[in-house]
């Protein structure tokens, strides 16, 4: 066996070579280690010596010490030295960090690369231990490209190589040729010419190698700048090369293919003339041309697997050569049939591959939308990266062998060419071209044409699906906003009609083909996909496509109607879909369209059943249509039709469909059997024929699951087990489509219909999980106080969640049910949609109680509430809410059940499980029930004399307590001496918060009253002291306050009054004397006034000076406190004062001072009129 690499070579090859700036600077900063010359005599068996020599080798590469590198290479055998040198070249062309992706050559990058200047390029190649081989020269080209990208000048490198280095350039022709070869490989053809002799020069005729390099150079120049002179030079030199008798076979093959390629690019038809001359004057050369291009096309599939453009180029050359032969020398083409056959198979191989693996028109990756509008990324099948990249179908179609060429291939392959062309056209959604190829295929291969025709229908449906853009988007289109419904063009009625007319024309052509009829199901699917989601199917459109409804197979008609029914239950009645399609339909118009759709569906089925009365699929479709129509009338139209009778008739239709299926099942093949009739029946028993449309508000029919079970029992034993197994398996797999609120009902109904079965063990486990959850969580309602609540006063109900310790620990508590998550900025519901749990419970509670109770409020615990102990070990109670309510009348005797929806993660997403409290008896017959529990009562009484000018004394009473606070007369004895109690304004009791601090859960409530007191008339003496009311409850806390200006201060239970209230008792004699005195004084005063000058007027309310918004507010406040305005003026003054304050001092203050003067003058005038003289 061959010996492996030497230990020294292995050490070299394991090095991580690094010429990044940081590595070079670090190496220069370190002290210079020993060199190869410093080492002892080579000892390749000493690991220490090998490690030292490897370090010298790596340092030499990093620092660009190429003499040291040559010395290190010289320690290896000749072949290993070449291998080590190539290793260096290869590593320096790679990124320094192999874990980072390599940047594109024309893209800027911040990743540091190996530094390579002119001395490095010269030194690296000069370090080669022997004359560089072609492989070594090829490794140097990427380094030249890297150096040029780093900004180094090409001219300096060319000049250096022209002067000559150890192995490149100079006067030696072979080394000059090697330099030119490197520059050409480095994509610098403009720099190659100085290194090569031109034909006719004194140095003699160029060698074949020189000619090849010249041809490649001028061809590269032509491809770079498109100059005709370079093309002419390449063409002429290539002909010279072909004329050389000493040209080896492989280079001659390459030159022949190049000649065909260049001939197609020449002007003035010179290239075409060359091809004609080739086939006419030199048949052998013509055959070699055919063989050469065919060989290139065949080899390209392996050699150019990742370059589809180059493979297409070889096929294009092949096509041009063959067409030239057929056009000018058809008789010679007849003689070369085997060769033409092989060349045609080159195209066929590429066509089959492209049809199978290319990405057709409109087939873009990226995000898509499901039927609910949710964004998702589909799981894509990854192709093996080693597989060839397919050529685009449209480009391959341009190179398809023509009629004359196909006539000269093996007859057994001709149909394959036609079918391949048809598949390519279908891949590009070119229906006209595809149909032309299918029509030709049908004459040779009817079976293959039948498959193509069905593929045609499928592809047509995909390209004319108006809803596909809502499911698929181009990944290069940016998205702004949540749902881009306006991004698509609506499918107008005229566009839909155009689609259906086009489908009808294609269906007519397909029926005319000499093949088996196309599967009607595919046509039906195309019809449905071409139809707008917002439009109901019309009978005339169906007849245009299918040639008459009576000609439809029962299965096709049933599928059409089932799709129609599903749309009637979903998209056709959805206002959002109508808006998205811009139909401008109102709700009534949508309703009319849906009702007409159900009527038309029923009519279609009745026509189908007239000719196939026992077809189970038609009977099933009729049952589902009638059932869903009845549900629509009940829940959406609120029709007065007899829902129960219509529902019973629909279930009878389901039973008839099941009986018809049972009769047909024994004759059905296994792939024709179906459990659809039993599934639809089961779903309909829950409320809708489609499982995903069943909702919690639908009323299930518990009689139907046993009827389904009886229908299954009517099947033959073997068939019964087959159907039960599939129904049992589907019971779990379809749970993902079920509304979370009805999952429990769905599973219970399913097991009632199917019974226990091993295939349903997963579903059974989920149902048991639901049952365990319900057993470990209970909703409890408890009346606050006794159940003798009366009907004239409110009472409260505590609502609590009773649960096991285990379920609280596993679920993380029940705090989320005390939140409205949509009102929170960063709410998260662990995979479930955000929910407003508090609002949902309150809405459900009001709905449950509103018939017999007035629900005054619902007060919730805080989300961080802690659970409390329960008398039963292992159980806890979490306070949830307090419902304040009042019975509507004495006849109420029961508190209905309250419910709370809890959601839990399950194996199919999440489930909503309602828990309900038991009904509670109560007694509302008495007007007033028993007193409610009350403790920690706190009464705050505030005396307000600010309306004393009107003779009013106001007492505000505020109460706080644990428990519901009763009316004022039950908590306060209010009878102040000298006053009578007037109007009492009661703000009613309000439940403020749940208080879990005591041994017993309680509600903290608040209540306030405003009491108007007036001084009594006929008092012997006006009251000078006010006595606050005394609490009636012994443990109540009393606080006494009074207003001092605008401030509050605490006072004693007895306070001095600032004003006088009421009127004293006056005797009649005193009154007469008083009148006489007043009269006399009045007469004397009048006489004095006639003689005395008028005094100056006293202004009681001078206008503020300076006048500012602040002083104006103070002025209006003074007027409000001191002037006895009537109620209307007082309200107007308060309103204008508040507006002034908001305009100048509110959060959005932008007030102007323009109207202040008029405002204060107007109210000063009103105050003067209202004030006593």
CB atoms near residue 194 (< 10 Å)? 14
Give the mean model confidence (pLDDT) for residues 754-774.
Answer: 92
Question: Does the pLDDT at position 856 exceed 70?
Answer: yes
Alpha carbon distance 462, 439 (integer Å): 21
Question: Does the pLDDT at position 1066 exceed 70?
Answer: no
pLDDT score for 703: 95
Q: DSSP letter string over 566-606?
A: HHHHTGGG-HHHHHHTT----HHHHHHHHHHHHHHHHHHHH
pLDDT score for 1095: 40
Q: 252 pLDDT band (50/70/90 cuts)? A: confident
Question: Does the pLDDT at position 98 exceed 70?
Answer: no
Specify which residues 857 forms β-bridges with.
Answer: 884
pLDDT score for 198: 54
pLDDT score for 466: 64
Asked whether 291 and 317 are in contact (CB, 8 A), the reply is no
pLDDT score for 833: 77
Asked whether 644 and 703 are in contact (CB, 8 A), the reply is no
Sequence spans of domains, the chain:
429-474+491-609, 614-755, 775-921, 934-1056, 1109-1170
- pTM for the full model? 0.59
Which H or E run contains 1160? helix 1156-1170
SS3 of the chain: helix, strand, coil, percent, to 5: 55, 10, 35
pLDDT score for 798: 97
Alpha carbon distance 306, 299 (integer Å): 13
Give the mean model confidence (pLDDT) for residues 758-777.
Answer: 91
Of the candidates 901, 1007, 1022, which has an alpha carbon nearest to the alpha carbon of residue 958? Answer: 1007
More reliable by pLDDT, 248 or 37: 248
Question: Does the pLDDT at position 297 exceed 90?
Answer: no
Q: What is the pLDDT of residues 517-544, one digit of tens each?
A: 888 788 888 887 777 665 667 777 777 7
Q: DSSP letter string over 1003-1037?
A: EEEEEEEEEEEEEPTTBSS---EEEPPEESSTT-E
More reliable by pLDDT, 760 or 584: 760
- Percentage of the chain modeled with pLDDT above 70: 83
Contact partners, residue 801, CB within 8 Å, separation at least 6: 777, 778, 779, 780, 814, 817, 877, 878, 880, 900, 915
The token duo for 143 is 């380094």
Q: What is the pLDDT of residues 606-658, one digit of tens each?
A: 989 998 999 999 999 999 999 999 999 988 887 657 889 999 999 999 999 99
Q: What is the pLDDT of residues 1087-1121, one digit of tens each?
A: 444 444 434 434 567 888 778 887 888 888 888 87
Question: Does the pLDDT at position 482 exceed 50?
Answer: no
Residue with tokens 């003798």: 788
Q: Phi and psi dihedrals of 37, rounded to 5?
A: -70, -30
Question: Does the pLDDT at position 751 exceed 80?
Answer: yes
Q: Which of 534-543, 684-693, 987-996, 1137-1146 has the lowest mean pLDDT?
A: 534-543
pLDDT score for 663: 94
Q: 940 pLDDT band (50/70/90 cuts)? A: very high
- Percentage of the chain modeled with pLDDT above 90: 33
Give the mean model confidence (pLDDT) for residues 972-995.
Answer: 91
Question: Does the pLDDT at position 154 exceed 50?
Answer: yes
pLDDT score for 276: 67
Question: Does the pLDDT at position 1083 exceed 90?
Answer: no
Q: 475 pLDDT band (50/70/90 cuts)? A: very low
Of the candidates 595, 588, 597, 603, which has an alpha carbon nearest to the alpha carbon of residue 632? Answer: 595
Q: 3 pLDDT band (50/70/90 cuts)? A: low
Q: 1019 pLDDT band (50/70/90 cuts)? A: confident
pLDDT score for 1094: 39
Q: 480 pLDDT band (50/70/90 cuts)? A: very low
Question: Does the pLDDT at position 464 exceed 60?
Answer: yes
Alpha carbon distance 760, 763 (integer Å): 5
pLDDT score for 1171: 63
Alpha carbon distance 1005, 987 (integer Å): 12
Alpha carbon distance 453, 434 (integer Å): 9
Question: Does the pLDDT at position 33 exceed 70?
Answer: no
Alpha carbon distance 415, 352 (integer Å): 13
The dihedral of CA 1039, 1043, 1048, 1049: what is its sign?
negative
Give the mean model confidence (pLDDT) for residues 738-755.
Answer: 93
pLDDT score for 896: 95
Q: 375 pLDDT band (50/70/90 cuts)? A: very low
Alpha carbon distance 866, 859 (integer Å): 16
CB atoms near residue 968 (< 10 Å)? 20
Contact partners, residue 478, CB within 8 Å, separation at least 6: none
Question: Does the pLDDT at position 788 exceed 90?
Answer: yes
- Any idea of the CA torsion for 384, 388, 389, 390, to the nearest 10 degrees? -120
Q: Tell me the range of 63-67, 396-400, 962-966, 1149-1153 where mean pLDDT is highest.
A: 962-966
Of the candidates 630, 620, 622, which has an alpha carbon nearest to the alpha carbon of residue 605? Answer: 622
Q: Which of 100-109, 497-506, 1154-1163 has the lowest mean pLDDT?
A: 100-109
**CA contacts within 13 A on the Cβ side of 288:** 15
Report the CATH fold assignment for 934-1056. Answer: Immunoglobulin-like (2.60.40)
The token duo for 1046 is 């605008």
Specify which residues 961 forms β-bridges with.
Answer: 1005
Give the mean model confidence (pLDDT) for residues 389-416.
Answer: 89
Average predicted confidence (pLDDT) for the chain: 82
Range list of β-strands (E), 424-528: none
Alpha carbon distance 400, 318 (integer Å): 11
Alpha carbon distance 884, 963 (integer Å): 11
Alpha carbon distance 385, 13 (integer Å): 28
Q: What is the pLDDT of residues 337-373, one digit of tens each?
A: 888 888 888 899 989 988 888 876 545 444 454 444 4
Judging by DSSP bridges, how do beta strands 934-944 and 1037-1044 pair with one another? parallel
């Amino acid at each position: 066996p061959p010996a492996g690499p030497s230990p020294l070579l292995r050490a070299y090859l394991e090095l991580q070579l690094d010429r990044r700036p940081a590595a070079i600077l670090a190496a220069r900063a370190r002290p210079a280690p020993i060199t190869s010359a410093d080492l002892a005599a080579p000892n390749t068996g000493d690991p220490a010596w090998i490690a030292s020599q490897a370090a010298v080798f790596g340092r030499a590469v990093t620092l660009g010490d190429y003499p040291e590198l040559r010395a290190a290479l010289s320690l290896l055998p000749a072949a290993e030295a070449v291998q080590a040198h190539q290793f260096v070249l290869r590593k320096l062309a790679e990124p320094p960090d192999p874990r980072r992706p390599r940047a594109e050559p024309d893209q800027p990058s911040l990743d540091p690369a190996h530094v390579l200047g002119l001395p490095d390029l010269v030194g690296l190649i000069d370090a080669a231990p022997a004359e560089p081989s072609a492989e070594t020269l090829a490794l140097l080209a990427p380094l030249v490209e890297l150096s040029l990208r780093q900004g180094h000048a090409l001219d300096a490198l060319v000049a250096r190589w022209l002067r000559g280095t150890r192995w490149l350039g100079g006067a030696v022709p072979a080394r000059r040729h090697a330099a030119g070869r490197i520059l050409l490989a480095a994509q610098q053809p403009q720099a190659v010419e100085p290194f090569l002799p031109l034909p006719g020069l004194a140095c003699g005729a160029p060698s074949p190698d020189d000619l090849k390099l010249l041809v490649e150079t001028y061809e590269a120049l032509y491809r770079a700048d498109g100059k005709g002179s370079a093309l002419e030079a390449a063409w002429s030199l290539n002909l010279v090369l072909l004329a050389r008798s000493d040209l080896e076979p492989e280079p001659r093959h390459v030159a022949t293919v190049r000649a065909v390629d260049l001939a197609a690019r020449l002007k003035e038809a010179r290239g075409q003339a060359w091809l004609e001359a080739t086939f006419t004057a030199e048949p052998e050369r013509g055959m070699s041309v055919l063989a050469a291009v065919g060989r290139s096309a065949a080899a390209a599939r392996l050699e150019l697997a990742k370059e589809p453009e180059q493979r297409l180029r070889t096929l294009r050359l092949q096509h041009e050569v063959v067409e030239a032969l057929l056009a000018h020398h058809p008789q010679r083409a007849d003689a070369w049939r085997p060769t033409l056959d092989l060349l045609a198979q080159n195209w066929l191989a590429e066509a089959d591959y492209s049809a199978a693996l290319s990405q057709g028109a409109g087939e873009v990756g990226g995000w898509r939308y499901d039927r609910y509008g949710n964004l998702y990324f589909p799981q894509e099948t990854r192709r093996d990266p080693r597989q060839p990249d397919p050529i685009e179908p449209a480009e391959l179609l341009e190179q398809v062998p023509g009629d004359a060429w196909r006539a000269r291939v093996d007859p057994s392959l001709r149909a394959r060419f036609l079918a391949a062309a048809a598949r390519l056209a279908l891949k590009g959604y070119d229906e006209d071209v595809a149909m032309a190829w299918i029509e030709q295929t049908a004459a040779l291969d009817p079976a293959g044409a039948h498959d193509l025709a069905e593929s045609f229908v499928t592809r047509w449906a995909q390209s004319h699906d108006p809803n596909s853009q809502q499911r698929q988007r181009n990944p290069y289109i940016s998205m702004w906003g949540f749902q881009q419904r306006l991004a698509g063009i609506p499918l107008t009625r005229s566009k839909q009609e155009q689609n259906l007319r086009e489908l009808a024309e294609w269906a007519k052509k397909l029926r005319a083909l000499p093949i088996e009829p196309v599967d009607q199901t595919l046509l039906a699917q195309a019809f449905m996909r071409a139809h707008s989601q917002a439009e109901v199917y019309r009978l005339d459109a169906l007849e245009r496509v299918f040639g008459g409804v009576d000609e439809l197979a029962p299965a096709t008609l049933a599928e059409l109607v089932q799709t129609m029914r599903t749309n009637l239950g979903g998209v056709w009645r959805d206002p959002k879909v109508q808006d998205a399609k811009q139909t401008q339909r109102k709700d009534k118009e949508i309703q009319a369209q849906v009702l007409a759709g159900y009527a038309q569906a029923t009519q279609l089925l009745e026509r189908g059943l007239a000719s196939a009365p026992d077809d189970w699929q038609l009977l099933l479709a009729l049952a589902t249509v009638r059932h869903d129509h009845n549900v629509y009338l009940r829940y959406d139209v609120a029709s007065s039709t007899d829902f129960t009778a219509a529902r019973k008739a629909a279930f009878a239709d389901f039973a008839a469909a099941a009986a018809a299926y049972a009769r047909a099942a024994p004759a059905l093949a296994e792939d024709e059997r179906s459990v659809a009739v039993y599934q639809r029946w089961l779903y309909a028993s829950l409320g809708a024929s489609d499982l995903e449309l069943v909702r919690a508000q639908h009323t299930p029919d518990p009689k139907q699951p046993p009827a389904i079970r009886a229908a299954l029992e009517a099947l033959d034993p073997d068939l019964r087990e087959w159907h039960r197994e599939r129904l049992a398996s589907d019971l779990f797999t379809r749970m993902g489509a079920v509304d979370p609120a009805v999952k429990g009902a769905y599973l219970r109904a399913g097991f009632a219909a199917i019974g226990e079965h091993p295939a349903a063990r997963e579903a059974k486990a989920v149902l048991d999980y639901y049952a365990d959850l319900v057993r470990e969580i209970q909703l409890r309602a408890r009346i606050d106080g006794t159940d003798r609540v009366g009907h004239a006063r409110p009472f409260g109900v505590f609502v609590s969640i009773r649960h096991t310790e285990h379920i609280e620990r596993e679920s993380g508590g029940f705090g989320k049910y005390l939140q409205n998550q949509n009102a929170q900025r960063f709410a998260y519901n662990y995979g479930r949609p955000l929910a407003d749990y508090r609002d949902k419970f309150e809405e459900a509670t009001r709905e449950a109680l509103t018939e017999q109770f007035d629900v005054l409020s619902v007060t919730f615990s805080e989300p961080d509430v802690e659970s409390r102990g329960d008398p039963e070990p292992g159980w806890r109670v979490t306070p949830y809410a307090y419902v304040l309510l009042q019975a509507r009348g004495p006849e109420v005797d029961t508190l209905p059940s309250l419910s709370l929806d809890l959601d839990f993660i399950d194996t199919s997403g999440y489930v909503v499980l309602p828990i309900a409290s038991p009904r509670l008896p109560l007694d509302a017959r008495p007007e007033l029930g028993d007193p409610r529990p009350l403790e920690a009562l706190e009464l705050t009484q505030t005396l307000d004399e600010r309306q004393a000018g009107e003779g009013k004394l106001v007492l505000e009473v505020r109460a706080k307590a644990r428990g519901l606070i009763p009316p004022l007369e039950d908590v306060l004895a209010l009878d102040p001496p000298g006053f009578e109690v007037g109007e009492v304004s009661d703000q009613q009791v309000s439940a403020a918060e749940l208080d879990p601090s005591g041994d017993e859960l309680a509600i903290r409530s608040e209540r306030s009253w405003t009491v108007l007191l007036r001084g009594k008339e006929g008092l012997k003496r006006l009251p000078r002291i006010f006595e606050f009311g005394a609490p009636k409850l012994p443990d109540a806390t009393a606080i006494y306050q009074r207003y001092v200006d605008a401030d509050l201060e605490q006072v004693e239970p007895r306070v001095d009054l600032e004003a006088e209230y009421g009127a004293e008792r006056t005797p009649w004699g005193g009154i007469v004397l008083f009148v006489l005195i007043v009269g006399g004084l009045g007469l004397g005063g009048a006489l004095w006034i006639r003689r005395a000058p008028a005094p100056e007027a006293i202004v009681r309310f001078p206008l503020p000076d300076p006048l500012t918004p602040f002083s104006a507010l103070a002025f209006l406040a003074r007027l409000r406190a001191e002037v006895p305005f009537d109620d209307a003026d007082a309200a107007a003054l308060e309103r204008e004062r508040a507006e002034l304050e908001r305009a100048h001092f509110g959060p959005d203050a932008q007030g102007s001072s323009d109207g202040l003067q008029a405002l204060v003058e107007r109210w000063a005038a009103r105050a003067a009129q209202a004030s006593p003289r």
